[in-house]
């Protein structure tokens, strides 16, 4: 539950832009899908690392190892499967753009299918972040990071995307 101070405070992206002296992109949808995935990768990682620090007593090395397992392509592909039913039409379109973006290389330990799904998820996360839509970003990340897969059905499906094999 948000308190009044949270409701009146700027978005995470707005706070970052203020710190670096920039200004928000007028329409993040106009950015390339891999640019959205680029920033989304960092935002996704921030959520994962924050949850690990707040919920575990791991050492720095343990935190690194745990985070790596949660931000790898296969884990992000699973993240997509958890939120696919709750994506809006607009989010689904951003996901498809990210998933279908032309990638130069694929990590050795990832399948092409998982890597594409992961890139789509990162694009959605980046797009929501750049829009300053912290509420929706938090909603999706809670579903992704919650260990109870039943939360997906509780959020109510909005739009599913067929996975590309």
The catalytically annotated residue of 41, 45, 114, 134 is 41
Distance (Å, whole) CA 138 – CA 28? 18
DSSP line for 116-160: HHHHHHHHHHHHHHHHT-HHHHHHHHHHHH-S-TTHHHHH-----
Burial of residue 72 (CB within 10 Å: 0-12, 13-18, 19+) is: middle
State the residue for tokens 């929501």. Answer: 128
Which DSSP category does 21 fall into?
T
Q: Encoding tokens for residue 135?
A: 């509420």
Residue 130 CA, chain-centre distance (Å), reads: 12
Residue 153 CA, chain-centre distance (Å), reads: 19
Residue 3 designated active-site = no
For the annotated catalytic residues, the residue numbers are 41
């Amino acid at each position: 539950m948000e308190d009044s101070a949270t409701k009146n405070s700027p978005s995470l992206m707005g706070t970052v832009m203020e710190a670096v002296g920039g200004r928000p992109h007028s329409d993040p949808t106009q950015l390339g899908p891999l640019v959205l995935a680029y920033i989304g990768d960092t935002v996704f990682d921030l959520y994962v690392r924050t949850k690990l620090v707040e919920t575990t007593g791991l050492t720095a090395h343990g935190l690194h190892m745990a985070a790596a397992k949660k931000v790898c392509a296969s884990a992000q592909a699973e993240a997509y499967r958890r939120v696919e039913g709750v994506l809006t039409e607009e989010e689904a379109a951003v996901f498809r753009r990210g998933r279908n973006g032309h990638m130069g290389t694929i990590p050795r330990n990832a399948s092409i299918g998982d890597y594409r799904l992961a890139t789509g998820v990162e694009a959605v996360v980046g797009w929501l972040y750049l829009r300053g839509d912290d509420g929706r970003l938090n909603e999706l990340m809670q579903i992704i990071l919650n260990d109870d897969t039943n939360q997906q059905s509780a959020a109510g499906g909005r739009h599913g995307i067929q996975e590309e094999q």
